[in-house]
Amino acid sequence: MMCTVIHCRATVTRSAGGCGAACDRRSFCKQAAAFGLFPLGPIAYLGVVVGCSLGLFVPAFGQEFDIERERIIQSERSDGRQLSTRGLIHHLLRTEHPKLAFDPEFTPEEFAAWQLRVRDKLEELLNFPEVAPQPAPKKLWTEDRDGYRLEKWEAYPEPGSVVPYLVLIPDGVTPEHPGPAVMCFSGSSDTKENLAGEPPLHPSFEPDGRTHAGWRHAVRNQQALQFAKAGLVAVAVDHPGNGELSDLAKYRKTSADDRNTLSRYLIDAGRSYLGLSVFQKRQILQWLRSQRFVDADRIALSGHSLGTEPLLMMAVLDPQIQAMVWNDFLCPNMERAKVCTKPDNRGVRPPANFLGHCVPGLWEWFDYPDLVASFAPRPVILTEGGPTHSLNLVRKAYEIAGAPENVSIHYYPKYANPTDRHDGEPIPEGLDQNEWFEYANVDVPCHYFKGYFAIPWLTKHFRLPDCGEVYPPAPPEAVPEPLK
């Protein structure tokens, strides 16, 4: 234990950007002297450092660690109170209930009143900045493509901020013949250029499958291009810190900044990463509605993975959004936090998602299935399933709203057959991340934009001609029809 304390102090000095190895050695010497460890020769010094380093990865000598025994966080006190702070948090997760959770027993009138309360509370939590009027968006250039016109614009949502975006306008869509539109939001490491099927702005943003594990399905994730080819005006926008909105990411051969840092600074300033993302995208949505070539009564939002979060919040806040393409699995995040407690062999329990997913106070009021439920009766498609009890909650909301036909649900091919799913309710505690995905009916390698489901579904709701087979086509194992 003594050695571990010394090593950790030296490590903190290095990671804080101190004066380098010489400073570390001086710090170590002073601390070692205080504990009576000198005189030490170079070999002994090295042995202390190596031995102490191991203390970060293995339990202390003589300490027994049983992963199975520690799977579930339990109190060993007779009063049930938790000495462990992690245990306190789990006590809250087990006992607290969101104040505006969806109630399956709502009457239609109660449901409508609840939707208004959810909308008002969500806008309060996102804490959008109040800004003076800003310059109107500006078009940078226009180029013709096969079957559509590509335009690049930039918006100015608030002082100090520029947000570029791409617009794909199908041939035949004009002010005299306006078309429906869809805003497209990517997954975590994707960019607006890939959404539009365009070359990356920098070689480091190239979806080569090596530097971007999440881009192994780059062609399938070109949702804006797929929608445009089906006859919809498509708008592609980067997330904060992604692609063109990143800082030094290109030098690190990645397409995204350290969004934990961005999120932390925003939270300290009373805002959030998701709040910023929604604020920026809402300004572009407002511009989109004003375009004469767009049918403002037929505007949808489409998101993949990280993109489903601003998608959902924009859809809940804006009653004029006519449809929502949710390309991810749907689960209660509170449940995920509650059941993912199995430690690894170092005694570390599964970590939380990055801070960009955090809206302070959200769990006090509702979880994501509640927000999706509040979108009823407007059409929604969920293309990657999730825990069936979450999906049933959404189905119930659409029944109460009188539009059960407006919710379309698909599972991953691996879980298309109900006998292959883990549909226990609630999901048991004591899982690691992989076990959680299995219980949530999630097939991680097949996490990509399911255009072969989403595009025919949306074109049908927007009364467009049959678009034929979508490219890339559905894989052979995909189930062609929605599962009820």
* Cβ-proximal residues to 381 (8 Å cutoff; 6+ apart), any chain: 324, 325, 326, 407, 408, 409, 410, 453, 454, 457, 458, 482
43 falls within a domain? yes
| Statement to judge: residues 293 and 381 lie in one domain | yes
- CA nearest to 242, candidates 197, 283, 212: 212
Residues in the chain: 484
If DSSP codes are grouped into helix, strand and coil, which group holds residue 382?
strand
| Statement to judge: residues 128 and 6 lie in one domain | no
- Number of Cβ within a 10 Å radius of residue 191: 27
Cα radius of gyration rounded to whole Å, the chain:
25
73 falls within a domain? no
| Statement to judge: residues 20 and 135 lie in one domain | no
Q: Domain range spanning residue 33?
A: 1-64
Residue type, 115: Q
Question: pLDDT band for position 247 (50/70/90)?
Answer: very high
Q: Which is more confident, 157 or 2?
A: 157
- Structural domain count, the chain: 2
Q: How far apart are CA 449 and CA 219, in angstroms?
A: 9
146 falls within a domain? yes
Q: How far apart are CA 203 and CA 251, in angstroms?
A: 10
Residue 45 has what pLDDT? 45
474 falls within a domain? no
Q: Where are the beta strands (DSSP E) in 308-379?
A: 323-327
Which tens digit of pLDDT belongs to each residue from 360-408?
Answer: 999 999 999 999 999 999 999 999 999 999 999 999 999 999 999 999 9
Q: How far apart are the first and last CA of the chain?
A: 57
| Statement to judge: residues 38 and 149 lie in one domain | no
| Statement to judge: residues 3 and 134 lie in one domain | no
252 falls within a domain? yes
Q: How far apart are CA 118 and CA 101, in angstroms?
A: 9
Helices (H), 213-354: 223-229, 259-268, 273-290, 308-317, 333-339
CATH code of the domain containing 359: 3.40.50.1820
| Statement to judge: residues 454 and 346 lie in one domain | yes
Question: pLDDT band for position 202 (50/70/90)?
Answer: very high
102 falls within a domain? no
Position 472 pLDDT exceeds 60: yes
Helix, strand, coil percentages for the chain (3-state, nearest 5): 40, 10, 45
| Statement to judge: residues 161 and 27 lie in one domain | no
Which tens digit of pLDDT belongs to each residue from 66-112?
Answer: 999 999 999 999 999 999 999 999 999 999 999 999 999 999 999 99
Question: pLDDT band for position 58 (50/70/90)?
Answer: low
Let me know: does 223 contact 302? Beta carbons within 8 Å.
yes
- Residue environment code for 81-111, b if the CB has 16+ CB neighbours within 10 A, otherwise e: ebeeeebeebbebeeeeeebbbbeebeeeeb
471 falls within a domain? no
Select from 64, 96, 111 the last residue of a domain.
64
Q: Which two tokens stand for residue 70?
A: 């520690």
Residues in a beta bridge with 138: 154
- Residue by residue, DSSP assigns 254-266 as -SB--HHHHHHHH
470 falls within a domain? no
Let me know: does 117 contact 102? Beta carbons within 8 Å.
no
| Statement to judge: residues 49 and 127 lie in one domain | no
β-strand pairing of 323-327 with 294-304? parallel
If DSSP codes are grouped into helix, strand and coil, which group holds residue 327?
strand
**Residue 447 to residues 153, 195, 381, 383, 418: CA-CA distances in angstroms?**
30, 15, 16, 10, 19
